[in-house]
A and B are shown apart, each in its own frame.
Chain A
Amino acid sequence: MAISVDPPQVSRDLCRKAGYTFTVLSDPNAEVIRRYHLLHAGGGPDGHDIARPAEFLVDSSGMVRWVNFTEDVRVRARAAEMLAAAKGLR
Chain B
Amino acid sequence: MPDASNNRENWAVWVGSLLALVAVMCNVVFFVNLPGLWAIAWLSMLLSVVALIFLGLGLKHAFGRPVVYRRKILSSVLSLVSLLLVGVAIFASFSARAMPTSAGAPQIGQRVPDFTLADTNDQPVSLAQLLAQAGKDSKVTPAKSVLLIFYRGYW
Contacts and interface: CB of A to CB of B under 8 A. Distances in A.
A74 to B, nearest CB: 4
Nearest to A36: B105
A73 B152 contact: yes
Interface residues of A, number: 64
A21 B85 CA distance: 40
Contact of A66 (B102, B108, B113, B118): B108
Contacts, number: 192
Interface string A39-70: 11101110000111111111111111111010
A41 B100 CA distance: 8
Given A67-B108, A69-B105, A71-B99, A25 B150 contact: no
Q: Is the interface of B mostly helix, strand, loop or mixed?
A: loop
Interface residues of B, number: 56
Q: Is the interface of A mostly helix, strand, loop or mixed?
A: mixed
Nearest to B143: A90
Interface of A: 1-6, 8, 10-15, 23-27, 31-33, 35-41, 43-45, 50-67, 69, 71-75, 78-80, 82-83, 86-87, 89-90
Interface of B: 27, 30, 33, 35, 37-38, 41, 92-93, 96-97, 99-115, 117-122, 125, 127-128, 130-132, 134-135, 142-155
- List 9 A-B pairs, minimum CB-CB distance, nearest first: A60-B135, A37-B104, A25-B117, A56-B148, A12-B120, A74-B30, A86-B142, A2-B149, A51-B150
